[in-house]
Structure 1
Amino acid sequence: MAGGAADNYGGVFDGSMGFGAKPALILIDFVEAYFDPSCALYAGVEEALKNALKLRDAAREAGLLIVYTNVSYTQSMIDGGRFAQKVPPLENFVAGHPMGAWPKGLEPADDELVITKHYPSAFFGTSLASTLTANGNDSLIITGLSTSGCVRASCVDCCSHGFIPIIAEDAVGDRHEAPHKANLFDMQAKYADVLPSAKIMEYLSELKL
């Protein structure tokens, strides 16, 4: 970013919300489509998954609510609306398609929550906000794919619903570095605290729930 443009952010978008008292962890759309080079949605985001799994281990140890999201459509994809109209490769998420499966190592445990969504945000048209409220969560540690798409949409809705969004910057990924970095910058400026997973795991190791 050019110096003048960056200067416009100084003193205006420097805030921090800090960690909450009772976080939950979400893993957004870590499914085979983004890891299979033969798929149109392939993104080359293996490192993000690796770091997300480390965070999941720490979250399990700390006793956090752990939430996974995936996307699933009927055969006609009528439930995909304008999103499916705009992005035809979402056909990989028709129910039963192998590209919608969990990658090896990510299978949710029986006591962990899976939310199936139709649109980018994990909150839109789902029970996520109600679940977090009922469980007493005040913050959400966000990992997943992609940074500029479903992660960003979920981050904005998380903030709008009154929860603190904490973005694990090395556990989210995108198919191109430019939108990845730009969206991390913008989320940090306006909606979330963007932190390395090592810092988040340090916080979780000291958390008393």
Structure 2
Amino acid sequence: MPDAETDTTGLHGSATDDVYDRAGFGATVPRGPRPALVVVDLTRGFTEPGFPLGADLTAEVAAAAQLIEVAHRRDVPVIATAVSFTAAEADGDAVAWLRKAPGVRALREGSDAVALDDRLGLAPDDHRILKKGASAFHGSSLAALLAGLRIDTAVVCGATTSGCVRATAVDAVQSGFDTLVVADACGDRARGPHDAALFDLQAKYADVVTLDDAVSYLDDPFRKADS
């Protein structure tokens, strides 16, 4: 993720902390024994800087690959998502998101931009979800898939933090799943939106956790967060 010279988010400071503490935000999320790993949109169009929507997410992809490796070893389900539009959708005017963010029209089915990053180490039997919006839950089978697998906790990583990761994490909670967001395995095009999204997710929707914490949890879901 690109570095920023200064913190311009205005997220840090005792006044902000006091306001959020008084509101009752930031409680710790329970962790159940049946997690799933949801890898959001780590496709080449987002993880490589040569694409118009992309950034250099080498470190974040490497972190996600660690999560995927331990999930495979421990038989934790892995679900990878990708945004993909048909030519008719990309060229037409029917998708409201594309009217607001016309650059997303570049994510056309069959193109290199929508190919999942090979560095992730995904397996052929990992689940794939194609989507047309920011949230991996909207208009997809993801909620039904997680319910069918009897999942209780969603571990979310991917790109971009302020867009599809945030939307997916919020909808995961609204779909009834306790949710962890792995900060080290989430990337964005700029530091400010990344930090702001993680701050808001931690306050209201999910536990924002380190890579080491997430790996330990996936390796042993019965391990308590502070044990």
> What interval of TM-score do these two structures reach, taking the shorter chain for normalisation?
over 0.9
Alignment partners' CA distance in 1, 2:158 and 2:94: 20
Q: Deviations over 1:88-132 (max 9, x none)?
A: 111221112211112222353221100000000000000100111
Whether the 8 Å contact between 2:183 and 2:208 is mirrored in structure 1 is: yes
Quick check: 1:44 aligned with 2:49?
no
Structure 2: state its 5+ residue gaps: 1-10, 223-227
Counterpart in 2 of 1:98?
A: 112
Whether the 8 Å contact between 1:25 and 1:66 is mirrored in structure 2 is: yes
Alignment partners' CA distance in 2, 1:186 and 1:158: 15
Whether the 8 Å contact between 2:74 and 2:219 is mirrored in structure 1 is: yes
Using the TM superposition, give the Cα deviation of residue 14 of structure 1 relative to its aligned residue in structure 2, in angstroms: 2.8
Counterpart in 2 of 1:9?
A: 20
Q: Deviations over 1:35-91 (max 9, x none)?
A: 333321012222111100001101111111110001111102248611111111112
Structure 1: state its 5+ residue gaps: none
* Pairing of 1:112-131 with structure 2 (within 5 A): 112-131=126-145
Identity %: 33
Counterpart in 2 of 1:143?
A: 157
Counterpart in 2 of 1:24?
A: 36
* Pairing of 1:1-209 with structure 2 (within 5 A): 1=11, 2-11=13-22, 12-77=24-89, 78=92, 81-106=95-120, 108-207=122-221
Alignment partners' CA distance in 1, 2:186 and 2:192: 14
Change (3 A) 1:161 1:93: same
Matched residue pairs, number?
208
TM-score (norm. length: structure 2):
0.86
Instruction: State the superposition RMSD in angstroms.
Output: 1.6
